[in-house]
Each structure stands twice: as structure tokens, then as C-alpha cells.
Homo-oligomer: A and B are copies of this chain.
Amino acid sequence: MNIKLGINAYGKNAVNLSKIIRHADHHEFRQVSVSVALEGDFDTAHTLGDNSKILPTDTQKNTVYVLAKEHFTSTIEEFGLYLANYFLTNNPQVSKARIEILEHAWQRMTFDGNAYTHAFTGGSTEKRRTIVTQTATGVQVSSGLQDLLLLKTTDSAFENYIKDQYTVLKETADRILATKCEAMWEYTTTGLDFEATYQKIHTSLLHTFAHHKSLSVQQTLYAIGEQILLDNAVVKEVSLIMPNKHHIPFNLEQFGVENKNEIFIATDEPFGYITGTVVRD
């Protein structure tokens, strides 16, 4: 019986970096969390403790900070592409470099309709995200978002499902649909305007969620994925995670009061967990 190393990777996670970009009439403030993961010829590091091919994660971290000065000037996708290429081409022992970047959104404060030059508010849970993966044979960019809270107060039903001996859920033609959406889509190319494309897909996601007459989370999920693919030839496939953040009607009737779909218990756990990938045939 022999034992050997299977799939493995290492790198530095959560390299928290902020940058001020000074424009002529205002400051831009960016805050990201970068994670680097490297795969390659690391067998003897595991089996012998031979570190001669190990680029320390501390060095990876420093590299991210240094390269951010010249190369983090536009989207996280462009910065991710630079970093992935840097680590792959400077380290012959590395066969795959994977860069993940989360961006925390900061907005310029607005007073009397005017964006202020250098003050910002932050704090949205929604984070933009990209994963860039480069190997000897090519580079792949996936982009998306996480922790986007979406909710609609009508145009959502759930009916005609299986009933068995453990079913007590009541069918409803009108419920709250709420989710903390995570979406990632794979691009067919790296030669595109990542900012404009992202904004277009983001709007498409929100627009479809809002306007869809939902018969289930699954159907809404599919509709969003389909719309993104229909509108964007540069997107190869879309993966969505849409947990069902239940808002359960509170039983006012037990106290002689009618609940006309007004008062709900907002719950965290348990939650429905609906995931799906929409692809091109």
C-alpha cells in the first residue's frame, strides 16, 4: 500500500489592502481583500519538508501590496489578471495561480446633490468578487458578487408541490421572497470592459429579480441566469446561490386578529438553500 499527495494548494488569504487614487478633482478610495493560491510542484515540500520551491505566503502578501501601486488602477479583474500572471511567470514551479479579490464598496458622500471630494460611506454587505485562474494553457476570469440582499413583497408564489405525511406548509399565491444572493459568472475572454460588463449584469440581475412573476426560488434563479446569458455573449455560464431567507407570517389569528400578509417573523435559520448553474447548450 502506497500513500501519496493528491490535490493541494497554498497561498496567502485575506490580504487587506486599501488605496487612495488621487484624481484632479476628487479622491477615489478602494478597499479589497486579496487571496492568492498556488498549485504546482510541491510534493517534496509535503513529503520531505523541502521548502526550496516554496514562495512564502509572507512574500506573496508583500508582492500584492507592492504591485498594487502600479497595477491596481482600475477593476479588480485587471488587478487579478496582473497578479495571476506575475506569480505564474515568476515561479516556474507553479502550474496554476489563482487570485481571488473581494471589493468592499465605498461611496462618496453626497451633499445637496454633489459628490464630496474626499469623504466616503461604506458598509454594504454586498461585495464584488473576481477569481482569476491562470495556467500554462490559459487564463480564466470569473466575476460576480456575494451577500447581495434582495427582497420582493409580492409577485412570488409557492404552490402545487409534493405533499406527504410530513407536509404542513400552506400553499401561497403571495409571499415574501428574500435572499442573500451569491452570483459568479465565467467570462469567455479577458479582453473586455470589466466595469461596464459588471454593471450591465448587475442591473440585469436586479431587474429580473424585481420583474419576475416567481413560482419558486428555483424559477427565479433560472430566470436570472438565463437573462444574463441572453444579454451577454461574453458570459459562458452563470452560477447562483439563492438561500431562501424566510419571512414567515406570524399567526395573529390565534389572538383574534387577521394577518393580511402584513406581519412576519424574519428568520435566519433554518433556511432553504437553492443553487444552480445556467449554461449554454
Contact = CB atoms under 8 A, between A and B. Distances in A.
Given A10-B273, A168-B254, A218 B261 contact: no
Contacts of A118: 152-155, 210
Main secondary structure of the interface of A (DSSP, over half): mixed
A273 B11 contact: yes
A24 interface: no
Given A166-B62, A167-B56, A219-B45, A243 B13 contact: yes
Interface string A1-24: 111111111111111111111100
Interface stretch (A77-85, A132-140, A192-200, A221-229): A221-229
A63 interface: yes
The 4 closest A-B pairs by CB, nearest first: A49-B215, A119-B210, A2-B281, A8-B276
17 contacts: A1-B281, A9-B274, A10-B217, A13-B269, A15-B270, A16-B266, A17-B264, A17-B266, A22-B262, A49-B216, A51-B160, A51-B216, A57-B244, A59-B166, A66-B255, A111-B203, A119-B209
